[in-house]
Chain A
Amino acid sequence: GIQVEQSPPDLILQEGANSTLRCNFSDSVNNLQWFHQNPWGQLINLFYIPSGTKQNGRLSATTVATERYSLLYISSSQTTDSGVYFCAVVTNFGNEKLTFGTGTRLTIIP
């Protein structure tokens, strides 16, 4: 099956810093989502982004489907951005399940 790897696995930043999280996938995908899992365990959808670039406030995401990666940018980090960020993909081969990546744990220090 498809492999979805995220980097870095852990990231510790000072409040106000910018960060880039990467998601690499091993095969063609039909859809890609970025999630933020907060400290209470809730999965919050950030973006549906199978290709192109989207922005939502301090967050933006870019997916280059032909090169099989996606990037999540967080600018001017706040402590509430802490948590685990997952990307998840849907492949092209007739099934609709999401395959999640390994996650990046982001810790923002005041």
Chain B
Amino acid sequence: DTAVSQTPKYLVTQMGNDKSIKCEQNLGHDTMYWYKQDSKKFLKIMFSYNNKELIINETVPNRFSPKSPDKAHLNLHINSLELGDSAVYFCASSQGGRNQPQHFGDGTRLSIL
């Protein structure tokens, strides 16, 4: 069984479009995250939700809007896509509290034409 699953795995679209990435975890975790990995493999946190509530919002353009319908899902909607948004986006989850390992999905590769 896949623990953290993201869809789609690949997303190719044109500049200016709006797109969404979905994430689901079946680990029973309380906290979910979105990360962006650039072409140099650098991983940076974007958002974190705990029990459907936003707890971390790093410096991310407001074109990016996370939505958590329940604690097992955290979706990422992106408006007016720009060339610089091209990256791999990873969803992750962890148990609540400090010092807990995060478990990652396999990523969504977003390519903006």
* A and B part of one assembly: no
Query: Which A residues contact B (CB, under 8 angstroms)?
Result: none
